[in-house]
Amino acid sequence: VQLQASGGGLVQAGGSLRLSCAASGRTFGSYGMGWFRQTPGKEREFVARIGWSGAPLYYADSVKGRFTISRDNAKNTVYLQMNSLKPEDTAVYFCAADSGPATYGTRFNPRAGPSYDYWGKGTLVTVSS
């Protein structure tokens, strides 16, 4: 699976951005997708996840109510709509894909980076105060 994230940029606090992640190489509707973010000197942080069929949805507490993850399987794309952005949302955002429900197992953690096997290059989001 090849992933390409886009849509990052500079926005003022309170503004909105929509990130996109285009996927290729496998049947898009067969695996879950996630968004993570990372700032210099910090560990990669889970942001949101959407299951292969569009559910279930998971969000980090820090973005719940402000961010919305969605997917369009016909367009092989997953989105992250980010509203009410805060300076602390500034980070490089990465999209990731797992290998599908057959690989989940009983210890599968949808919020953990190691649960994802494919990663795209990040897109930078900068929120100014």
pLDDT in tens, 30-84: 899 999 999 999 999 999 999 999 999 999 999 999 999 999 999 999 999 999 9
For 13-39, b/e burial (b = at least 16 CB within 10 A) is eeeebebbbbbeeeebebbbbbbbbee
How high is the pLDDT of residue 114? 94
Structure confidence at residue 28 as a pLDDT band (50, 70, 90): confident
CB 44 within 8 A of CB 119: no
